[in-house]
Structure 1
Amino acid sequence: MQTVIFDMDGVLVDTEPVHRYAYFRHFEELGLAVTDAEYATFTGRSTKNVYQHLKDHYTLAQPVEEMVLAKREHFNRAFDEKPDFDLLPGVRALIEDLHRHGLELLLASSASHSTIGRVMRRFELAPYFSHLLSGEDFARSKPDPAIFARAAALARSPAAECVVIEDSTNGVAAAKAAGLYCIGYDSIHSPSQDLRLADLVVADFGELSAARIAALAVD
């Protein structure tokens, strides 16, 4: 394996509490009684896709883009004001190890370009990644494989030498549908996710290294 494609939420950072806060503040403004069970189905989906679903399901009059921007305002305020927001344990060391050993890194996240940019700037990660892909640019969210297929197409190495690191049911399904090797990250921040389709599952980034990833091979 020569290329590692990272998801972002639940893999690099845990922005879920910030997203949840922003979504539910906006749901209140819209007068929506979204249940926890319904919210759980949004995991791995882009914000645009979520609001398209809500617009269709609840027959909302507001344009999708308007709702996306309103939610983003709530998120950005919370993002900037949350002092304990940090990278997940072990992921910076893994990124640095992969980069030091010459593996190419890409990001393929359902998050918006705005959120990806904020994470890259706050944690100074941009120099490590050759490409940053956002779910905003794709008509369908994970588990649709389009974002991972595009990431593999942009990579320097062929798809057979690309590995995806994902934490969600939808993300793992998307990676496998794109024909890529997938490492499932069993994160405490992403509960109730089914990672059984992953080729390898780890619970700690300390289990991974550039040497171990480079040695992975598709059966």
Structure 2
Amino acid sequence: MPFLLLDCDGVLADTERDGHRVAFNRAFREMGLPLEWDDPTYARLLGIGGGKERLSSVLSPDVMAARGLEDTPGERARLVAEVHALKSELFRGIVADGLVPARPGIRRLVIEATASGWTVAVASTSAPESVRAVMETVLGAGLASGIEVFAGDVVARKKPDPAIYKHAVQQLGASPGDCVVVEDSSQGLAAARGASLPVVVTESAYTHGEDFAGASLVLSDLGEPDAPAVVLADPCDLMVGCPAVDVAVLEDVISRRRG
């Protein structure tokens, strides 16, 4: 049985710029924290895997003092948890309002894969509730309900560490040789490759121009039959004659990796 493993943010929807970043800034304002992440700042912070970890990296003594807290490990951890919980709630509201639309081709590919007997799962560093919210909006509740999610703190180390993908493969009872991953970032690519998984990359708003060496394919998006993907790197000519990534392309990724 083949397995399709999807990242969430940047793969299901381009959630970082207009979803997570906006939700973080709203949470900062509501909690009276002297923080605001503009596009360049957030793009830089995405080099740190995980929202809680990004937040921890900017908690200066001044930020702690704004909440009347001592700058101790325990108080920092408590503030990170409070801010992240509020941010996640705000993010789900943004998603529910339809402000983070699906990326091209993702719903079509998931439908095709499940109809062809593939097991589809999502492996993400985002909170499970946030991932589910994106899935239900992008894929629809019915389709999303059949997809297993591995997300958040289910592993201690975040991408680019391969832990989340190794965990997903183990829990699914899969073999790396039967899997294909869709990612959007060099961090995600490194995580999947570290778990010996082949990767199709669809660039997102914050990852354009990153180094995707080692990917089986690099594309603008998954494409649609009437709106072809832009092929950015295709070392094995997987997309020749194909306007969009479909199950046949995924099967070719697996077979060429085995070959």
- TM-score range normalised by the length of the shorter chain: 0.7 to 0.9
Instruction: Tell me what 1:9 maps to.
Output: 9
Instruction: Tell me what 1:42 maps to.
Output: 45
Partners of 1:186 and 1:195 within 8 A in 2:
no
Report the Cα offset of residue 109 of structure 1.
1.1
Quick one: distance in 1 between partners of 2:215 and 2:146?
25
Show the 5 A alignment for 1:40-119: 40-43=43-46, 45-55=49-59, 60=64, 61=69, 62=76, 63=78, 64-81=80-97, 83-119=98-134
Quick one: distance in 2 between partners of 1:45 and 1:57?
23
Mean CA deviation greater in 108-117 or 26-35:
26-35
Quick one: distance in 2 between partners of 1:176 and 1:210?
21
Partners of 1:4 and 1:103 within 8 A in 2:
yes
**Which amino acid is the alignment partner of residue 42 of structure 1?**
L
Q: CA RMSD in A?
A: 2.5
SS of match in other structure, 2:122: strand
Quick one: distance in 2 between partners of 1:58 and 1:212?
52
Report the Cα offset of residue 158 of structure 1.
0.9
Partners of 1:49 and 1:140 within 8 A in 2:
no
Report the Cα offset of residue 198 of structure 1.
1.5
**Under a length normalisation based on structure 2, what TM-score does the superposition of the two structures give?**
0.74
- Considering Cα pairs closer than 8 Å and 6+ residues apart, tell me whether 1 or 2 has the greater RCO: 1
Unaligned runs of 5+ in 1: none
SS of match in other structure, 1:164: strand
Partners of 1:162 and 1:180 within 8 A in 2:
yes
**Which amino acid is the alignment partner of residue 39 of structure 1?**
Y
SS of match in other structure, 1:163: strand
Quick one: distance in 1 between partners of 2:58 and 2:168?
28
Partners of 2:33 and 2:63 within 8 A in 1:
no
Show the 5 A alignment for 1:15-34: 15-16=15-16, 17-28=18-29, 29-32=32-35, 34=37
CA shift in 2, pair 1:36/1:86, >3 Å: closer
Q: Does 1:126 align with 2:144?
A: yes
Quick one: distance in 2 between partners of 1:77 and 1:209?
32
Instruction: Tell me what 2:184 maps to.
Output: 167
**Under a length normalisation based on structure 1, what TM-score does the superposition of the two structures give?**
0.86
CA shift in 2, pair 1:198/1:23, >3 Å: same
Instruction: Tell me what 1:135 maps to.
Output: 152
SS of match in other structure, 2:45: coil
Q: Which has the larger radius of gyration?
A: 2
Unaligned runs of 5+ in 2: 70-75, 224-243
Report the Cα offset of residue 192 of structure 1.
4.2
Partners of 1:99 and 1:128 within 8 A in 2:
no
CA shift in 2, pair 1:153/1:171, >3 Å: same
What is the percentage of aligned positions where both structures have the same residue? 30
Report the Cα offset of residue 150 of structure 1.
0.7
* Count, aligned residues: 217
CA shift in 2, pair 1:77/1:58, >3 Å: same
Quick one: distance in 1 between partners of 2:19 and 2:203?
20
